[in-house]
């Protein structure tokens, strides 16, 4: 059987350069080597409050962003999580396999729960069981994600191993694929935080749909470190973050980049970075706008049909092994 990839993003806001550089871009690169499934995880989005009309619109927008990034529906399967009911059903089963203590240790839960104060849904806690279901339903080998998802991937592996031990070999145990550069793009307004679509400060992120003026303004305002020379330096996280974005957008090596900026200051870096981001994002946005509603719904319908057939077979095995046979 061909090796498989599964990954997804939540339609909770505007996807940003961090999502692209940490995840999407690797999906595009890997799709020809693996049988690939890319999902818009709308059931994950409702673990925090969402405006219904906004969620519906974002779900389609995220699928468009996948296509415009270069995910080819002729080789990869693109679908919406809620179109394949098996995700919710296997998530329930895995909720009965995972321990509460494991869920409470997840740093994403702790961070997001802090922001919700007293309104933390049970779904926010059990979110990793749904994510494990997404991955395990497809007998996935590799899960390309950003650094922030590493802990969820480790839990997914633990759940697969536990289920296999208790009920017999059923799930393939997946590996995370986390890129060396780009796995954690930091916020432009605070290099100690990751670039995030849910942060209230818009200036911390470059949205994939931002126009040229907005991109220039946000980079201009980006926080920098003390010092003046432009080079990769772990002791200067803000400049190193900007340089990493530049590296990924231009494909140049760190040596070439440092030579290019030798004797130049932060203003030049910010200007050149804005140029590189605009050169990349303008054609990207044109591709997003060129996808018709009809084409999108056909791709998502066909994707869901293909995904469902595989998911249903895995779930059938799971239920059989557990003694869930119905009437």
- For the CB of residue 19, give the shortest distance to ligand ATP in the complex, in Å: 4
Is residue 273 classed exposed, middle or buried when 0-12, 13-18 and 19+ CB atoms within 10 A define those classes? buried
Looking at the Cβ atoms of 145 and 273, the one nearer to ligand LTN is 145
Under DSSP, the state recorded for 201 is -
Structure tokens at 6: 């599964």
149 is an interface residue for ligand LTN by CB under 6 A: yes
Residue closer to ligand ATP, measured from CB, 45 or 300: 45
Q: Is 155 in the site for ligand LTN (CB under 6 A)?
A: no
Of residues 17, 41, 68, 125, which one binds ligand LTN by CB under 6 A? 41
Among 4, 25, 44, 270, binds ligand LTN (CB under 6 A): 44
Bridge partners for 37 per DSSP? 6, 77
Strand partners, 40: 9, 80
Is position 112 annotated as part of the catalytic site?
yes
Q: Is 232 exposed, middle or buried (0-12, 13-18, 19+ CB in 10 A)?
A: middle
* Contact positions vs ligand ATP (CB under 6 A): 9-10, 12-13, 18-19, 22-23, 145-146, 148-149, 183-185, 194-198
Q: Which two tokens stand for residue 106?
A: 């997840």
Contacts of 146 (CB under 8 A, 6+ apart): 18, 19, 22, 23, 178, 182, 183, 184, 185, 194
Active site residue 197: yes
- Decide which of ligand ATP, ligand LTN, none touches 143; Cβ closer than 5 to 8 Å per partner kind: ligand LTN
Stretch that binds ligand LTN, among 3-11, 58-66, 205-213, 302-310 (CB under 6 A): 3-11
Q: Is 264 a catalytic residue?
A: no
194 or 270: CB nearest ligand ATP = 194
Interface residue with ligand LTN among 35, 86, 134, 189 (CB under 6 A) is: 134
Three-class secondary structure of residue 113 per DSSP: helix
Neighbours of 83 (CB within 10 A): 17
10 binds ligand LTN (CB under 6 A): yes
| Piece of the chain touching ligand LTN by CB under 6 A; list 47-55, 111-119, 128-136, 269-277 | 128-136
d(CA 252, CA 269): 14
Query: In the complex with ligand LTN, which residue's Cβ is closer, 6 or 261?
Result: 6
Those residues whose C-beta lies under 8 Å from the C-beta of residue 107, and which sit 6 or more positions away, are 151
Give strand ranges (E) for the chain.
4-9, 35-40, 76-80, 142-144, 175-177
Q: Which is nearer to ligand ATP, 19 or 76 (CB)?
A: 19
Q: How far is the CB of 224 from ligand LTN (least distance, A)?
A: 28
Instruction: Please identify every residue annotated as catalytic.
Output: 112, 194, 197
Site residues (vs ligand LTN, CB under 6 A):
6-8, 10, 41, 44, 131, 134-135, 143, 145, 149, 152
């Amino acid at each position: 059987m061909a090796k498989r990839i599964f990954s997804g993003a939540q339609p909770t806001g505007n996807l940003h350069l961090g999502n692209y550089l940490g995840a999407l871009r690797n999906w595009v690169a890997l799709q020809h080597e693996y049988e690939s499934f890319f999902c818009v995880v709308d059931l994950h989005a409702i673990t925090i409050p969402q405006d219904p009309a906004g969620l519906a619109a974002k779900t389609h927008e995220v699928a468009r962003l996948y296509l415009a990034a270069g995910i080819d529906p002729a080789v990869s399967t693109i679908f919406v999580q809620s179109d394949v009911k098996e995700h919710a059903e296997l998530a329930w089963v895995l909720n009965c396999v995972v321990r509460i203590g494991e869920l409470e240790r997840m740093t994403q839960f702790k961070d997001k729960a802090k922001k919700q104060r007293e309104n933390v849904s049970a779904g926010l806690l059990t979110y990793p069981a749904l994510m494990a279901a997404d991955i395990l339903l497809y007998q996935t080998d590799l899960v390309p994600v950003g650094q922030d998802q590493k802990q969820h991937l480790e839990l997914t592996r633990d759940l697969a191993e536990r289920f296999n031990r208790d009920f017999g070999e059923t799930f393939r145990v997946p590996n995370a694929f986390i890129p060396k550069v780009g796995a954690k793009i930091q916020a432009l307004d605070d290099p100690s935080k990751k670039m995030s679509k849910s942060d209230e400060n818009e200036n911390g992120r470059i949205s994939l749909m931002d126009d040229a003026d907005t991109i220039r303004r946000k980079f201009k305002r980006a926080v920098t470190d003390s010092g003046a020379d432009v080079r990769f330096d772990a002791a200067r996280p803000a400049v190193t973050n900007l340089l990493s974005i530049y590296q990924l957008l231009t494909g140049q090596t760190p040596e070439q980049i440092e030579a290019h900026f030798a004797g130049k200051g932060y203003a030049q870096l910010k200007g050149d970075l804005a140029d590189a981001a605009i050169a990349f994002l303008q054609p990207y946005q044109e591709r997003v706008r060129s996808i018709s509603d009809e084409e999108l719904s056909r791709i998502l319908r066909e994707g869901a049909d293909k995904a469902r057939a595989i998911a249903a077979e895995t779930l059938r095995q799971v239920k059989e092994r557990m003694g869930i046979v119905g009437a």
